[in-house]
Amino acid sequence: MTTTAPARCDLLIIGAGPAGMAAALAAAESGMRIVVVDDNPAPGGQIWRNGPGVQLPPLARQHREGLARHANIEVLSGTRVVGLGDRANTGDAAALILENATRGWTQHASRLILCTGARELLLPFPGWTLPGVTGAGGLQALIKAGLDVRGQRIVIAGTGPLLLAAASTARKAGAQVLRVAEHTSWGALAAFAAQLVRWPAKAWQAPTLLRPSLRANAHVLEALGNTQVEAVRLQRGSRTEQLECERIACGFGLVPNTHLGQMLGCTLGERHGLQVDAGMRTTVPGIYAAGECTGFGGSERALVQGAMAGHAAAGEADAAQALQNQLARWNAFADALHRHFPLRAETLAALPRPDTFVCRCEDVAHGVLRQRSNWIDAKLHTRCGMGACQGRICGAAAQVLYGWTPQPARHLLSPARIATLADAGGKPSHESATQT
Amino acid sequence: MSPAIPMVEVQLGEAWVRVPAGSSAVAVLAQQPPGRTRLSVTGQWRAPLCGMGVCHECRVLIDGRERLACQTICEDGMHIATSTAQSAGAA
């Protein structure tokens, strides 16, 4: 087997959502050789996800066209980071093992910017493993990618502005949205709506809070059905409600994707995100972070942070500093989001029954897990967190349900083909390696 | 009258399915309700959950290779099969 020459770049950016795109464009004028790696089929991340019938906003199109225009930016879509490789040069920020549908290799980079975004917090409730249950943002993403929901009755539940965005996307796609069941109180919703005037770009969201299908102080109790979703039971204040439906979209805000950063040794900061200083530097030299992986705060903040990180990585400290005021403005918006959509963990932790699976990869039930004392204990005794999602779903759920702190993956970030690991000279973990 | 959307034709199990170009494999699977993707380790059918490549519930075989349906854009002639492998990571 022939080995390829090590792939090298000056700046490696992981993630091509708003933050990653902004970072690449900010750094591009410096002439650095930039590689952007993203596991989605096309740049845009979740909020600017493209698909059939999707009308991308002008800013998204500008960023995509910008990436294509610069000869020194290479975008590798459909490519995942599966683990850490051996650094060829000690001065490099990182060497990452990458894999796409057909091959794997190690990418060496002098500088690294992590724009790994966030994933939905998905919490278990009885019946949540039935086909027809998705995340709220998950439903939006699937619809944008062509999922036909015309005529389907959908209930959207959980917490956060993403519920309203998902409801809007579903309605435009011809679905019948029966309910938006928002976990937080009417008081918090009203206070949030009133504040939106401080951020005119966000004020358009306020009227959507008045739709008759919206219910505050409400959450899913159970998904009902034999082989797929047929109905949902909701708690509304002190009453319960049952609605027949085809889909339940339930998400509880966003959790920063910090696994790769933690594997590289970066420290966590506020809101479970990667810690960054005023120059978007992480605690590891040569590694920057921007966007939702530093803590959820919305796409405008991600764009500013991305641009700052790009300038900083390119050695343009003044250009990065010039964006501080914009960042402060959108940080205030992030604060408002977190303040008005708090998670009432005690309510949500009471939802799963003993036989409700918390770990969907390994089918580990709540009744088994709650007897364990921490994440490591659970992992060793039940295989929770050892499946294909590497604990991204169940680890975040366990943090809410049991108060456990998930540990970063030790070897592999994602299931990988044996050939990728053999080429990289990495050590495959038995649980994570797959063969094709 | 909106302009005609270009379509692609893919094979889902034994049937041929047409979806708009740019659709993910999840859109194809959903044409056979309830859009199941894989069998869990205890034999439960699963379907896409997160829609963004995190949960791996949408693992299917595409042209004989294990792929995530939500992260795979359909191409003419692609073959999609639900995954009956019951282990979490190995096919």
Q: In whole angstroms, what is the distance from residue A354 CA to residue A375 CA? A: 18
Per CATH, which fold does A124-251 belong to? Answer: FAD/NAD(P)-binding domain (3.50.50)
- Residue among B5, B24, B91 whose CB faces A145 most closely: B24
Q: Is the dihedral of CA A386, A389, A390, A393 positive or negative?
A: negative
Instruction: Number of A to B CB contacts under 8 A, please give it.
Output: 154
DSSP code string of A374-412 = SHHHHHHHH-TT-STTTTHHHHHHHHHHH---PPPPSSB
A134 closest CB neighbour out of B42, B49, B64: B49
B80 vs A: CB within 8 A: no
pLDDT of residue A428: 43
Q: Do B46 and A101 touch (CB under 8 A)?
A: no
Q: Which of B17, B45, B50 to mutate to test the interface with A (most CBs of A within 10 A)?
A: B50
Per-residue pLDDT tens, chain A, 436 aa: give them: 334 456 999 999 999 999 999 999 999 999 999 999 999 989 998 889 888 978 899 999 999 999 999 999 999 999 999 999 988 888 999 999 999 988 999 999 999 999 999 999 999 999 999 999 999 999 999 999 999 999 999 999 999 989 999 999 999 999 999 999 999 998 988 888 888 888 887 777 777 777 778 999 999 999 999 999 999 999 999 999 999 999 999 999 999 999 999 999 999 998 899 999 999 999 999 999 999 999 999 999 999 999 999 999 999 999 999 999 999 999 999 999 888 888 888 899 999 999 999 999 999 999 999 999 999 999 999 999 999 998 999 999 999 999 998 777 677 787 888 888 887 765 444 334 444 3
What single string gives the DSSP state of each residue in A89-134?
Answer: STTSSEEEEEE-SS-EEEEEEEEEEE---EEE-----TTTTSTTEE
Return the pLDDT at B89: 45
Distance CA B68, CA B57 (A): 8
Contact of A234 with A220, CB cutoff 8 Å? yes
Q: Find which of B12, B54, B73 to mutate to test the A interface (most A CBs within 10 Å of its CB).
A: B54
Contact B66 A434 (CB under 8 A): yes
Name residues 212-251 of chain A within 8 A of B (Cβ): 227-229
Contact assignment for A229 to B48 by CB distance below 8 Å:
no
Q: Does A392 touch chain B (CB under 8 A)?
A: yes
Per domain, the residue ranges of chain A are: 8-119+255-337, 124-251, 346-402
Under a CB-based contact definition with an 8 Å cutoff, are residues A107 and A98 in contact? yes
Radius of gyration of chain B (CA): 13
Closest CA to A110 of A214, A27, A167, A233: A27
For residue B27, give how far its alpha carbon lies from the nearest alpha carbon of chain A (Å).
Answer: 4
Tell me the chain A residues in contact with residue B32 when contact means C-beta distances shorter than 8 Å. none
Q: How far B21 CA sits from the closest chain A CA (Å)?
A: 6
pLDDT of residue A6: 63
A8-119+255-337 has CATH 3.50.50.60 classification: yes
- What CA–CA distance (Å, rounded) separates A125 from A320? 44
For residues B52, B55, B58 and B60, what is the CA-based torsion angle, rounded to 10 degrees?
110
Question: Which tokens is A342 given?
Answer: 């708090």
Q: Does B19 touch chain A (CB under 8 A)?
A: yes
Chain A nearest CA to B66, separation (Å): 7
Chain B residues closer than 8 Å to A134 by CB = 48-51
pLDDT at position A425, please? 63
Asked if A363 and B46 come within 8 Å (Cβ–Cβ), the reply is: no
Closest CA to A115 of A10, A321, A257, A254: A257
* Contacts for A413 with CB less than 8 Å, ≥ 6 apart: A80, A81, A82, A83, A259, A260, A263, A390
Q: What is the 3-state secondary structure (H, E, C) of B23-56?
A: CEHHHHHCCCCCCCCEECCCCCEECCCCCCCCCC
Amino acid at A373: S
Is residue B85 very low, low, confident or very high in pLDDT (cuts 50, 70, 90)? low
pLDDT value of position A5: 54
Which residues of chain A neighbour B86 with C-beta distances below 8 Å? none
**Nearest chain A CA: its distance from B77 CA (Å):** 17
Q: Do A434 and B91 touch (CB under 8 A)?
A: yes
Q: Residue A307, SS3?
A: helix
Chain A: give the shortest CA distance to residue B73, in Å.
7
Same fold, A8-119+255-337 and A124-251: yes
Residue with tokens 């001065």: A91
Verify whether the Cβ–Cβ distance A146 to B34 is below 8 Å: no
Q: What is the pLDDT of residue B1?
A: 45
Smallest Cβ distance to A148: which of B27, B47, B52?
B27
**pLDDT given for residue B3 in this prediction:** 65
* B65–A393 CB contact, under 8 Å: no
Task: Find which of A355, A360, A418 to mutate to test the B interface (most B CBs within 10 Å of its CB).
Answer: A360
Q: How far is B11 from chain A (nearest CA, A)?
A: 16
Only one residue has tokens 């519920």, namely A163
- For every residue of A315-329, DSSP letters joined together read T-HHHHHTTHHHHHH
Residue type, A145: A
The answer to whether the CB atoms of A132 and B47 lie below 8 A apart is yes
Q: Using CB atoms, which residue from A41, A101, A131 is nearest to B47? A: A131
Instruction: Report the chain B residue with the minimal C-alpha distance to residue A136.
Output: B50
| Contact map slice: B 31-70 vs A, CB within 8 A | 31, 33-36, 40-42, 44-57, 59, 64-67, 70
Residue A48 to residue A321: CA distance in whole angstroms: 26
Confirm or reject contact between B7 and chain A (CB < 8 A).
no
Give me the DSSP letters along A349-382: HTS--TTSEEETTTTEEHHHHTTSSSHHHHHHHH
Please give the ipTM for the structure prediction: 0.92
Q: Is B4 on the interface with A (CB under 8 A)?
A: no
